Structure 1
Amino acid sequence: MDLIHLAASNAYTTPPLWRVLTKAGYFLGLSGAIGATVTYVASVRPALRTPEGPGHDDVNVIRRRTAGYLARAGVVLLIAGYFQLAGRVARAGKGTPFGDALAPGKMWDFLVAPAAKGAWVAQGTIYLVQNLALILAAATLIALFLPQARRHLNALALTALPLTLAVTLIAAVPATAPKDADKVLDLLFGQAHIISGVVWVGGLALLAVLAASRGRLGENAGVLWADLWRRFALVALICVGAVITSGLWMSWKHVGAVSQLWTTTYGLFLLVKVLLVLGMVTAGAVNQFWLMPRVVKARRNDDTASLLHLTLRHFPKVVWGEVALGIAVLAVVPFLAGSARSEAGDPAAVSSGSIFTAGAFLVLTLVASLYVTVRTSDALARRSAPTAA
């Protein structure tokens, strides 16, 4: 009977609409800012500087579209950050309506509120520093609307990258010392999950938008895009590994049994999220095992027409599907409030040596599977390549 009462007291509460919109919008803003800057620095910029030397006109087209995308991402980040801060104010204040929380005065009072007893720093101070980093990151990106600033795209992107990462990392700093190692791991895995997720989704969105410029690219642009997709495939693979690893920890913390995935509201939303992520992984596998070997074959055969068709028509179609699934994931995230364990009346999860052993085994298995994925894709590419006469 006590467990029944406990489960009833911890029943799932649907978040208000403003909470759903502000949280989803915030992660959308992070995806645009972090995902685009990481992808440009790790994939686009190196591809534009390859020894093979893509056409000057193609480079200019990609740089212009990237600069425009990053500038718009800065606007979205700034707006999303404002509404996210209003949401924090509404949640912190007792009975503060979201409409009232939008007032700058309310926000300032929240940011300069004194520290709580036992805290090493005021929670508002942490959010103040976070929002200063957000403003600097957004301003750096928005500057790319100016033609003069676009000449310094590389420098501005490299400047914005650590600032955008700081937006989420600073917000995760605890105002009070974590009680145990589990709390520290919660913070670490939580940030790994956020950063890898937004890089994955945001990177895909940037490349899908850039690929839409195919009408302005030359006949040899397929070589550039083959290299671009190859470079991002490694970024995406790392993100997938981080998302799954951190997701396993977080799922164990919030779900006490597999049956809770369909017997609790939290579990149902988590199940939907997992299925959407699996859909993204499946689409990525199509690119890795089916499209990429054909791209390699066309490149080695010097088949310009096929290479252009594969890299700028087939690839983007699958990527747009991944982007749609990624946005759906962001829409589900705000509904993951509470935990399935509390809904079911189960005690909180506590780590142990056996848990860490099982986790290490799962991580090693995941790393091995990702390694096999890369090797298999390379083998398929070699098999599809023509043999020497």
Structure 2
Amino acid sequence: MSFAHLAASSVGYTMPPLWRILTKSGYFVGLCGAIGATVTYVAAVRPALHAPGTETGDVTALRRRAAACLAWAGALLLVTGYFQLAARVARAGKGMPFGEALSPGRIWDFLHAPAGPGAWVAQGTLYLIQNIVLVLASAALLALFSPRAQRRPDALALIGLPLSLGVTLIAAVPATAPTAADRVLDLVFDQLHIIGGTVWLGGLALLALLSGARRLLSENAGVLWADLWRRFSLVALVCVGSVLVSGLWMTWKHVGSVGQLWTTTYGLFLLIKIVLVLGMVAAGGVNQFWLMPRIARARRSDATSSLLHLTLRHFPAVVWGEVALGVGVLAVVPFLSGSARSEAGSPPAVTTGSVLTAGAALTLTLAASLYATAKASDALSRRPTGRTPAPSASGHTITPTAG
């Protein structure tokens, strides 16, 4: 059965129009570029470039390329943010064509609409503030197109980071004060999901793009990249934890039973998203348990060529696979409208003390498993690569040979 046929036969599910699919997916791509790239630059790239012993030529090449990536991320955020705002106008206009919603006059009227009954602030005012912050974030990153700024991008990246985070956080502020704890938890977990996912995917994309500068780097650049991958792996572990915990909460809220994952349209799209995310987690596991230990051992044994090959050939290949899966996730997100519970006629989820206790237990278990993952990867990296040659009676080393 096709998705279109299932959507048509499902009660309570409406297939989003093409403009809604493109604007929502594009907006999240823009957030990945702005949030993911700035967080990754500040948390992983910048410290690695400032590490002692790094060759000046490698630092200059990567710094310029990172600045260019951040600048393009600013341009992407500005364009996708405008289309996302127009999409909000079209949705609020009840039948307004998307082309008409692109008009600056329509957008201005939407942003100046009065507050509704019971609202503490007009919804348009919140979107106005959000988009002012979006323009400021884009401007900070766009300034990195300047050759002078590319030589020292740290300050602009540090300015763009909180502004980029503010774009999604401000949009989540409700115009009407939430009266139920469920609503507050929904807002918190939704933002955890967005920020964790955008940092994870945007960070992977940034590092994959930076790895394309390998022809400009020295033979000793493997040490720099080993440090860079190590730093980002810690960032990625935190992101994975945020995405999984928040994803479990949202799945429980919108899906009443396992069977609804393939008997409802919402459930099918969610199932596709889950498979893609698990694929990203599996690829991350390959990095954590196979590539990172090999990189650490090559670095410890001072195997320059092997280290360079692992950090700038093998690792980016896996990362590009993760990026492709992440793009698939963003393509599915616009289709997750409504709820599998409402389609199936199930009662809404009710948060109780036992549910919160079970959620806390799952969160602690996941945190412990991620900590164990990091420790296991570290233990694998310390494993010796081969047997230590045994000394002979005369004190000379005897190297075993094949008979």
TM-score bracket, shorter-length normalisation: over 0.9
Contact 2:64–2:151 (CA<8 Å) still a contact in 1?
A: no
- 1:47, distance to aligned residue in structure 2 (A): 0.4
Aligned to 1:225: 225
Q: How far does the alpha carbon of each residue in 1:47-73 deviate from its partner, in whole angstroms, 9 at most, with x for none?
A: 01112x211000000001001101111
Q: Which residue of 1 aligns with 2:57?
A: 57
Partner Cα separation in structure 2 for residue 145 and residue 246 of structure 1: 36
Paired residue secondary structure (1:258) = coil
* Alpha-carbon contact 1:301-1:386 (below 8 Å) kept: no
Q: Which runs of 4+ in 1 moved over 4 A?
A: 385-389
CA distance in 2, matches of 1:66, 1:15: 36
| Residue identity matched to 1:367 | A
Q: Which range moved further: 196-205 or 148-157? A: 148-157
What's the counterpart of residue 41 of structure 1?
Answer: 42
Q: Is the 8 A contact 1:297 1:386 kept in 2?
A: no
Q: Residue 194 of structure 2 aligns with which residue?
A: 194
Query: How far apart, in 1, do the equivalents of 2:148 and 2:105 lie?
Result: 36
Secondary structure of the residue aligned to 2:51 is coil
**Aligned-partner SS, 1:231:** helix
Q: Any stretches of 5+ residues in structure 2 without a counterpart?
A: 1-8, 390-403
- Tell me the number of residue pairs that the alignment of Structure 1 and Structure 2 aligns: 382
Confirm or deny: 8 A CA contact 1:67 1:153 kept in the other structure.
yes
Moved more, 33-42 or 353-362: 353-362
Distance change in 2, residues 1:387/1:142 (3 Å): farther
**2:86 is equivalent to residue 79 of structure 1:** no
2:242 aligned partner: 242
Alpha-carbon separation, structure 1, partners of 2:215 and 2:27:
33
SS in 2 for 1:338: coil
TM-superposed CA distance for 1:179, in Å, is: 2.1
Of stretches 187-196 and 143-152 in structure 1, the one that deviates more from structure 2 is 143-152
Alpha-carbon distance in 2 for matches of 1:361, 1:66: 40
Alpha-carbon deviation of 1:28?
Answer: 0.1
Q: 1:147: Cα distance to partner? A: 1.2
Match for residue 182 of structure 2? Answer: 182
Identify the residue that residue 337 of structure 2 maps to in structure 1.
337
C-alpha displacement at 1:371, in angstroms? 1.1
CA contact (8 A) 1:222 1:307 kept: yes
Residue 129 of structure 1 deviates from its aligned partner by 0.1
Equivalent residues of 1:256, 1:340 under 8 A apart? yes
Q: Give 1:157-306 correspondences, 5 Å limit.
A: 157-306=157-306
Which residue in the other structure is 1:4 paired with? none
Q: Is the 8 A contact 1:130 1:166 kept in 2?
A: yes
Partner of 2:23: 22
Residues 23 and 87, structure 2, Cα contact 8 Å, conserved in 1: yes
Which consecutive unaligned segments of at least 5 residues does structure 1 have? Answer: 1-7
DSSP-derived class of the 1:176 partner: coil
Deviation of 1:386 (Å): 6.6
Taking a change above 3 Å as real, the CA distance of residues 151 and 214 of structure 1, as seen in their structure-2 partners, is closer
Distance 2:51 2:173 in 1: 39
Find the aligned partners of 1:28 and 1:55 in 2 and give their Cα distance. 33
Q: Distance in 1 between matches of 2:381 and 2:191?
A: 35
Amino acid of the residue matched to residue 330 of structure 1?
L
Q: How does 1:367-378 map to 2 (within 5 A)?
A: 367-378=367-378
Task: Measure the CA separation in 1 of the matches of 2:353 and 2:301.
Answer: 54
Partner of 1:146: 146
Task: List per-residue Cα deviations over 1:127-162 (Å, max 9, x = no partner).
Answer: 000000000000110111111222331000000000
2:313 aligns with 313
Aligned-partner Cα distance in 1 for 2:382–2:270: 39
The correspondence of residues 49-128 of structure 1 with structure 2, limited to 5 A, is 49-51=50-52, 53-128=53-128
- Equivalent residues in 2 for 1:121-136 (5 A)? 121-136=121-136
Among all aligned residue pairs of Structure 1 and Structure 2, give the percentage whose two residues are the same amino acid.
71
Q: CA deviation at 1:83?
A: 0.2
**Partner amino acid, structure 1, of 2:326:** G
- Give the conservation status (yes or no) of the 8 Å contact 2:292–2:381: yes
Contact map agreement 1:293 1:384 (CA 8 A) in 2: no
Could you tell me the TM-score, scaled by structure 1's length?
A: 0.96
SS of the equivalent of 1:96 reads coil
The alignment's C-alpha RMSD in Å is 1.4
**What is the deviation of 1:372?**
1.1
Q: Which has the higher contact order (CA 8 A, sep 6+)?
A: 1
Judging changes above 3 Å, is the alpha-carbon distance between structure 1 residues 387 and 114 closer, same or farther for their aligned structure 2 residues? Answer: farther
Compared with structure 1, are the counterparts of its residues 10 and 125 closer, same or farther at alpha carbon in structure 2 (3 Å cutoff)? Answer: farther
Counterpart of 1:3? none
Compute the displacement of 1:388 (Å): 8.0
Could you tell me how far 1:384 is from its partner in structure 2?
A: 3.7
TM-score scaled by structure 2? 0.93
- Contact 2:10-2:265 within 8 A present in 1 as well: no
